[in-house]
Amino acid sequence: DAGVIQSPRHEVTEMGQEVTLRCKPISGHNSLFWYRQTMMRGLELLIYFNNNVPIDDSGMPEDRFSAKMPNASFSTLKIQPSEPRDSAVYFCASSFQTVNTEAFFGQGTRLTVV
């Protein structure tokens, strides 16, 4: 397996534009997590899915953020409209729904909003 695949690796966009981040989890994993990493806040859990269903989106900062998982092999995180304070590294991770197996992370998407 190629691991968790995120795209794009880097994104630079202007304030007010829509941004869509993509994630392909590891085949067979039934949990998917979106994290945001900044120097100030560290790793924040934004939302997680189990069997394609959003379980907890309490970490999503504002209504400008939305996430979907239309099937077991694909998820998106959308920011509309984007703002400079959204600049961060966004990670997607997947795992089996159990406490005793590790989550595998994608390479991350570095988002810069100017």
| Closest to 1 in 3D by CA, of 110, 104, 108 | 104
Question: Nearest distance from residue 24's CB to another protein, in Å?
Answer: 16
Residue numbers 5-44 binding another protein by CB under 8 A:
31, 33, 35, 42-43
Cβ pair 57, 66 in contact under 8 A = no
Mask for 63-92, x = binds another protein (CB under 8 A): --------------------------x-x-
Nearer to another protein, 74 or 105 (CB): 105
Contacts of residue 39, defined as CB under 8 A and 6 or more positions apart, other chains included, come to: none
Nearer to another protein, 81 or 104 (CB): 104
Tokens of 78: 């959308």
> In 3-state terms, what secondary structure has residue 86?
helix
Tokens of 45: 């859990």
Binding stretches for another protein (CB under 8 A): 31, 33, 35, 42-43, 45, 48, 50, 55-56, 89, 91, 93, 95, 97-105, 107-108, 110
